Amino acid sequence: MGRMPAVHDRHGLRLMAIHAHPDDESSKGAATMARYASEGADVLVVTCTGGEEGSILNPAMDQPGVAARMAEIRRQEMEAARLILGVRQEWLGFVDSGLPEGDPPPPVPDGRFATIALGEAARPLVRLIRQFRPQVITTYDESGGYPHPDHIMTHRVSVEAFEAAGDPDRYPEVGVDAGLEPWQPLKLYYHLTFHKERVLALHEEMMARGLESPYAERLAEWVDRAEDTGRLTTQVECADWFETRDRALIAHATQVDPTGWWFRIPLEVQRDAWPTEDYQLARSLIEVGMLPEDDLFNGV
């Protein structure tokens, strides 16, 4: 893939990235955000829950007292990651649903994010959209990227808020009644992080260099689905910000082991084999021309 020249002035452009938990912003679209922020765009991460139910996934952080302070620690980690990426961040204030385990899995406890009525859950997000006035929003697809109830709920509230924020008759309590004008975002994107074409390219590059690929088993078990065909519409060149992305991810120290799976593909392999972060353009209210595109702000 060819290298895309940097754009040095994106002032006046605003990107809102909506995520379920602290750390999600650093594993999905982080290099894109860091690039746009470095070029002058205003980038806001919206975190729907506090990540209170997160397990300690980094053995180095499995220390007395850490689990009891998880909510506080995850806020500190989020602040550190935000600063590394050069973005702003807001909390919606909902409680982490946790990941129910079992067959069948037990229901999510009442009062958690995934159980909140859609209108109630979307209201603070509509308010933020009307305040921040983004042209572009990124979020998860219908599956949540993986079937965590908070990720699926994040998709639902993101779509609801995208459609409602520009309508003065919807959510007036966080609109005209609160002194906020309607605002209609122009484009809505879904993250495509682990699609087959990218995973295969990384795997083949590792094998070509005589390195062990962490994707061999995943590819051997991969089941192609008709609904995944043609979803990739947008590839943002951001290889120069992969290192920034990794530093932001490592800042979520309770959740990320710096010696773990996330970091088994060397950065030079990633830059050579797949130097983009990838998206599906799910909704656009403006003409974008021919697809695929290489810029979330294409047409804005």
How far is 92 from 234, CA to CA, in rounded Å?
A: 28
Q: Is 21 annotated as a binding residue?
A: yes
2 with 168: CB under 8 angstroms? no
Which residues are within 8 A (CB) of 254 and not within 5 positions of it... i.e. 6 or more apart? 54, 56, 57, 58, 61, 66, 70, 73, 74, 77
214 with 265: CB under 8 angstroms? yes
Tell me the three-class secondary structure of the chain, residue by residue.
CCCCCCCCCCCCCEEEEEECCCCHHHHCCHHHHHHHHHCCCEEEEEEEECCCCCCCCCHHHCCCCCHHHHHHHHHHHHHHHHHHHCCEEEEEEECCCCCCCCCCCCCCCCCCHHHCCHHHHHHHHHHHHHHHCCCEEEECCCCCCCCCHHHHHHHHHHHHHHHHCCCCCCCHHHCHHHCCCCCCCCEEEEECCCCHHHHHHHHHHHHHCCCCCCCHHHHHCCCCCHHHCCCCCEEEECHHHHHHHHHHHHCCCCCCCCCCHHHCCCHHHHHHHCCEEEEEEEEECCCCCCCCECCCCCCC
Q: Is 151 annotated as a binding residue?
A: yes
Annotated binding site for Zn(2+): 21, 24, 151
Annotated binding site: 21, 24, 151
